[in-house]
């Protein structure tokens, strides 16, 4: 598939700080691309530059192979769903969705047809004459998306549109949004600070930090093979350790915990171990596995996300271990000891 959006060496400087610093990436046509970063990392600025509301300081935005330099927002083949949705409060649902179509000077029948089709798609039939102020959060969300999608944009930009929803509804809209994107095939560029949103919905995720992209990858790769310490710490739960020394075949943490690591090449100063990478009661015959004993401090019960908070024996490093909820470990007690193992490949050091 061809690239619909290309960002080349894009930078944005404000008076004394750089919001976007030499960013490069491309998005495949029909893809769901997320930019994940904490607030203030420059992701909103980046999105506003793509939409045309802000001017880049350097670099170029290329859509369909055409540079967008000097093209005003109303002429770009992109539409944006704003963080606060920006629905027009004095118009009803139908008028909101029709707003953009009316600007295209389409005839009444075409507009009506397109609106009905869109209402159908987002499941808002029967609501067209309601005031947007009378709708629930999820419905307002759908109106905002419908209002942009009905313009048939090449790219739909979404600026944390689920941020204002409560948790339950957000989980629901996440799935709905992914299905909608699959169904209509429009390219989505989605920015969020919520890693779960990014991982669940996206084909590709870019992790942004201090105006730069740390890594662009599939959600699975991002999680399994983080390229930088920031990505390893930011995406997913993890145990992080400062390292005191690294020798050829072993790692020693600041707390004095020594782990074998054959083939360790570069000197490193941080170690990351995912809670679910730890094997409880590993088989003694397993190869390439560090085994050690821990003392269980507390059981942090959270359904399928239950963890053990433990202390590694012989040093005082704290280690969180995922606890599968499959009855096997129901008898696990606070204060008891446990044998734990971790595979070499699951030791991520930077």
Partner 1 sequence: MKNKTNFNSTFYLLIIPVFIWLIFMIVIPHIELLISSFLVEDDMGEMVISFDNYIEFFSQKIYWLTFVKTAAYSIGVTLLAFIVAFPIAFYLTKVASKKSASFLILLLIIPLWVGELVTVYGWMVLLGDNGVINHFLMSTGIINTPINMLYTDFSMVIGLLYMSVLFMVIPVMSSLESLDDSLIEAACDLGASKWVIFTRIIIPYSMPGITSGSIIVFMLVIGDYLAPNLLGGKNSLWFTEQIYNNFLQTFNWNEGAAFGFLLLILSSALVWVALKLSGQKLEKVGS
Query: For the chain, what is the largest distance between any 2 Cα atoms, rounded to a whole number of angstroms?
Result: 78
* Least CB distance to partner 1 at residue 160 (A): 12
Which of 156/296 has CB closer to partner 1? 156
Of 77 and 123, which CB lies nearer to partner 1 in the complex structure?
A: 77
Structure tokens at 94: 């139908």
Q: How far apart are the first and last CA of the chain?
A: 34
| Interatomic CA distance for residues 244 and 174, integer angstroms | 42
Query: From residue 293, how far is each of 216, 281, 313 by CA, in Å?
Result: 37, 10, 6
Provide the residue count of the chain: 350
Place of tokens 């709708």: 135
Q: Which is nearer to partner 1, 51 or 216 (CB)?
A: 51
Pairing label, strands 318-322, 307-312? antiparallel
What's the min distance (Å) between Cβ of 312 and partner 1?
50
Q: Which two tokens stand for residue 346?
A: 């699951």
Pick 143 or 229: Cβ nearer partner 1: 143
DSSP state of 92: B
d(CA 232, CA 234): 6
CB of 171 to partner 1, least distance (A): 25
Reading the block at residue 110, the tokens are 């075409």
The total of other beta-carbon atoms located within 10 Å of residue 98's CB is: 22
Q: For residues 17 and 88, which CB has a smaller minimum distance to partner 1 in the complex?
A: 88
Based on CB atoms, which residue is closest to partner 1, 87 or 261? Answer: 87
Cβ closer to partner 1: 54 or 181?
A: 54
Binding site for partner 1 (CB under 8 A): 51, 53, 72-74, 79-80, 82-84, 86, 88-90, 99-100, 103-104, 147-148, 151
Min. distance of Cβ 193 from partner 1 in angstroms?
A: 18
Could you write out the three-class secondary structure of 189-221?
Answer: EEEECCHHHHHHHCCEEEEEECCEEEEEECHHH
Of 61 and 251, the one with the shorter C-beta distance to partner 1 is: 61
DSSP 149: H
CB 190 within 8 A of CB 41: no
DSSP 328-342: TTTT--TT-EEEEEE
């Amino acid at each position: 598939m061809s690239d619909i959006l290309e960002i080349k060496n894009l930078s944005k400087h404000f008076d004394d700080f750089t919001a976007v610093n030499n960013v490069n990436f491309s998005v495949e046509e029909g893809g769901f691309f997320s930019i994940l970063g904490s607030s203030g990392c420059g992701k909103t600025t980046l999105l506003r530059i793509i939409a045309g509301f802000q001017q880049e300081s350097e670099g170029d935005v290329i859509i369909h192979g055409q540079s967008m330099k000097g093209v005003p927002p109303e002429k770009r083949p992109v539409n944006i769903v704003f963080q606060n949705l920006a629905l027009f409060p004095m118009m009803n649902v139908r008028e909101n969705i029709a707003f953009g179509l009316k600007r295209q000077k389409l005839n009444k029948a075409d507009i009506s047809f397109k609106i009905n089709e869109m209402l159908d798609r987002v499941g808002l039939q029967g609501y067209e004459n309601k005031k947007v102020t009378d709708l629930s959060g999820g419905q307002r969300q759908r109106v905002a998306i419908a209002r942009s999608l009905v313009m048939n944009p090449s790219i739909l930009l979404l600026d944390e549109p689920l941020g204002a929803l409560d948790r339950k509804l957000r989980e629901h809209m996440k799935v709905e949004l992914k299905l909608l994107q699959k169904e209509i095939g429009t390219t989505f560029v989605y920015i969020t600070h919520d890693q779960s949103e990014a991982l669940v919905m996206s084909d590709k995720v870019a992790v942004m930090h201090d105006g730069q992209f740390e890594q662009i990858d599939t959600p699975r790769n991002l999680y399994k093979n983080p390229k930088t310490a920031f990505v390893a710490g930011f995406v997913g739960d993890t145990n992080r350790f400062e390292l005191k020394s690294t020798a050829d075949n072993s790692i020693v943490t600041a707390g004095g915990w020594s782990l074998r690591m054959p083939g360790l090449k570069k000197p490193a100063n941080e170690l990351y171990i995912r809670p679910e990478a730890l094997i409880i009661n590993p088989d003694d015959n397993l190869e390439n596995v560090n085994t050690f004993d821990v003392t269980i401090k507390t059981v942090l019960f959270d359904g399928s996300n239950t963890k053990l908070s433990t202390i590694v024996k012989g040093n005082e490093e704290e280690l969180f271990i995922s606890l599968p909820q499959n009855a096997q470990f129901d008898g696990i007690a606070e204060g008891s000891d446990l044998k734990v193992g971790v595979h070499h490949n699951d030791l991520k050091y930077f």
